[in-house]
Structure 1
């Protein structure tokens, strides 16, 4: 080969080496990872293999130059015996073949990537389930900002928690305690009287007031209190007759305190405690669940072997509508959402209703989502589920809950459409999914038990994981009944409701 032909052949070798490196990157990553690399990751891998390919080819080029003619002295004849292919043509032929392979690989990668994007868009547009997602983002290191030591004895179980923005209130057996979200300092507390325990509280506080109740050992949960959450002041208290407050029987809707008591459901002014209305229960009926917002109170009650869902005006107690539930045996129920209307129902009859039931604003059934199906066992709140699950997310026309498919604990998050009941998306975790809540920006926060607490933030529309918040130590221990609360400053507070092995009562991650 003459020196005049060195430049073009060298260029061909360099270009073919670069193409080979890029093609190897895309094909290799697709085989190993199951998806084609994109963005900066793909570029970095391609550059690395390009460098390797070019280096090797240049080395080979140098070794061949030792056999070229020098100073007019013929070198050895490297042509094949038949004379059909010369040494000068060999690099160009190899380069051409490699260029064809590179173009084929690039085309395959481009078509595959475009097809995946189109499939995702079509799935979202038609409501079809998107591909399962799993946490792949690099964890954002976090620390434990503060921690409340365990309180009580093993197996002591708290009642609930309220998110108060710059504070969180925890219902413990010994009373209601409000912790500053930034420091964990106790801002105020309402201690339970001697020989009494906190036995009930509303699911949330509204217009600055929440409800709690105290009761004696093996006695009724009879002492009802309204607490102002800004400073812990007790606004009023009432002693309830008979069996007192029913389990999960307190709610605050606007300025009305709603309670399911022995023989009646009552509405009182949340500020003064004055009774505004009452709805006596019919003979043979019992309350299964109650919840309220400012305009509607939902009451699930069972009468004999049947059950019904009743909507009342929260301010006046007037009945808005009544809907018979598909129940023919003894059942448990929980109000999952007041607006939109979603309840969870679990019948004793193994062939009966075990589902989330959705209704429109007039009580017309809209959707049924079975609690058990292809996705495993869906988590439901209260007595309709495991009795410990604190929150289920309902937003943007979807119901989002955890699910247990292969193990003994939930290990995934599943979203269902409240329009047609179809699965919208699924997030598969490598750890136990312990609790859910909604971020201030609308994302869904998943509390996972990964040898300690960690939080994964999901897109509410697609279920795709984003930020992963992982503490650097393992002191952030979860009990089997944790609740996740988002603070006003964006931090996260975990409240452990059930003491098992000296887990902290509450702690904050930042």
Structure 2
């Protein structure tokens, strides 16, 4: 894992293509109209900043979230934090070796992004392609907060997006159980056994409830 802070060059890791296009919009309006979009016509909206387009990027692990004044963008090869007002890159988290992101989710109220990635490997045949490594990243500075391992059930999970974050917890699949850990510390909060012969699919976390799709 590599985290670089401030003055990051515009390119990603070697052999990777440029960042997928991102756009920030701002509404400029007068105090007299109360910033209403349907006011007297004095309001305007335009592009404040954007990033180079990359249509060849893999779709896995992609996402974008706003946490305070930081816009966090996740891709298969890295997670990057931008100043939401200027578009300046402030940090970058790069998975180790040849590993890549399978899924990403975030608890923006606690400024934590939870990334699921596959295993590291010196060459493609040796690479562990199972998406069982979970990494929590501070969305303000890009530092790693904790790591955890997911178990691989038999039969396999329906999809890589069975990890969710919200309401102060991250929900993980471990040993045929759904386990909730504190989203900032990784400490255990609770666990729930899955019904027999059920295959877990997508989960979603809110402030007071957790939803899970089982098949």
Alignment TM-score, normalising by the size of structure 2: 0.66
Q: Which residue of 1 aligns with 2:24?
A: none
Structure 1 residue 215, shift from structure 2 partner: 1.0
Q: Which residue of 2 aligns with 1:47?
A: none
Q: Deviations over 1:374-433 (max 9, x none)?
A: xxxxxxxxxxxxxxxxxxxxxxxxxxxxxxxxxxxxxxxxxxxxxxxxxxxxxxxxxxxx
Let me know the Cα RMSD of the aligned residues: 2.8
Change (3 A) 1:260 1:205: farther
Q: Which residue of 1 aligns with 2:51?
A: 148
Q: Which residue of 1 aligns with 2:189?
A: 276
Change (3 A) 1:247 1:138: farther
Q: Which residue of 1 aligns with 2:95?
A: 192
Please tell me whether the aligned partners of residues 107 and 167 of structure 2 are also in contact (alpha carbons under 8 angstroms).
no
Please tell me whether the aligned partners of residues 205 and 252 of structure 1 are also in contact (alpha carbons under 8 angstroms).
no
In structure 2, C-alpha distance between the alignment counterparts of 1:253 and 1:154, rounded to whole Å:
31
Secondary structure of the equivalent of 1:206? helix
Change (3 A) 1:139 1:156: farther
Which among 240, 249, 254 is matched to residue 150 of structure 2?
240
Q: Which residue of 2 aligns with 1:220?
A: 130
Rg larger for? 1
Q: 1:229 and 2:139 equivalent?
A: yes
Structure 1 residue 210, shift from structure 2 partner: 2.6
Q: Which residue of 1 aligns with 2:4?
A: none
Change (3 A) 1:139 1:251: farther
Higher strand share: 2
Please tell me whether the aligned partners of residues 107 and 166 of structure 2 are also in contact (alpha carbons under 8 angstroms).
no
Q: 1:252 and 2:165 equivalent?
A: yes
Secondary structure of the equivalent of 2:109? coil
Secondary structure of the equivalent of 1:202? strand
Q: 1:209 and 2:112 equivalent?
A: yes
In structure 2, C-alpha distance between the alignment counterparts of 1:274 and 1:190, rounded to whole Å:
22
Q: Which residue of 2 aligns with 1:161?
A: 64
In structure 2, C-alpha distance between the alignment counterparts of 1:227 and 1:180, rounded to whole Å:
17
In structure 2, C-alpha distance between the alignment counterparts of 1:225 and 1:280, rounded to whole Å:
23
Structure 1 residue 261, shift from structure 2 partner: 4.9
In structure 2, C-alpha distance between the alignment counterparts of 1:270 and 1:241, rounded to whole Å:
19
Please tell me whether the aligned partners of residues 253 and 295 of structure 1 are also in contact (alpha carbons under 8 angstroms).
no
Structure 1, unpaired ranges of 5+: 1-134, 303-510
Structure 1 residue 266, shift from structure 2 partner: 0.9
Q: Which residue of 2 aligns with 1:417?
A: none
In structure 2, C-alpha distance between the alignment counterparts of 1:291 and 1:284, rounded to whole Å:
21
Q: Deviations over 1:449-486 (max 9, x none)?
A: xxxxxxxxxxxxxxxxxxxxxxxxxxxxxxxxxxxxxx
Secondary structure of the equivalent of 1:285? coil
Which among 176, 180, 199 is matched to residue 286 of structure 1?
199
Question: More displaced, 201-210 or 224-233?
Answer: 201-210
Alignment TM-score, normalising by the size of structure 1: 0.30
Secondary structure of the equivalent of 2:210? strand
In structure 2, C-alpha distance between the alignment counterparts of 1:294 and 1:205, rounded to whole Å:
12
Structure 1 residue 233, shift from structure 2 partner: 1.5
5 Å-filtered alignment, 1:42-121, equals none
Q: 1:176 and 2:79 equivalent?
A: yes
Structure 1 residue 212, shift from structure 2 partner: 1.0
Please tell me whether the aligned partners of residues 200 and 212 of structure 2 are also in contact (alpha carbons under 8 angstroms).
yes
Change (3 A) 1:238 1:138: same
Count of residue correspondences: 166
In structure 1, C-alpha distance between the alignment counterparts of 2:196 and 2:207, rounded to whole Å:
29
Change (3 A) 1:238 1:288: closer
In structure 1, C-alpha distance between the alignment counterparts of 2:100 and 2:164, rounded to whole Å:
19
Please tell me whether the aligned partners of residues 162 and 204 of structure 1 are also in contact (alpha carbons under 8 angstroms).
no
Please tell me whether the aligned partners of residues 214 and 222 of structure 1 are also in contact (alpha carbons under 8 angstroms).
yes
Structure 1 residue 138, shift from structure 2 partner: 6.7
Please tell me whether the aligned partners of residues 161 and 203 of structure 1 are also in contact (alpha carbons under 8 angstroms).
no
Please tell me whether the aligned partners of residues 205 and 211 of structure 1 are also in contact (alpha carbons under 8 angstroms).
no
Q: Which residue of 2 aligns with 1:459?
A: none
Structure 1 residue 155, shift from structure 2 partner: 5.1
Secondary structure of the equivalent of 2:108? coil
In structure 2, C-alpha distance between the alignment counterparts of 1:175 and 1:192, rounded to whole Å:
6
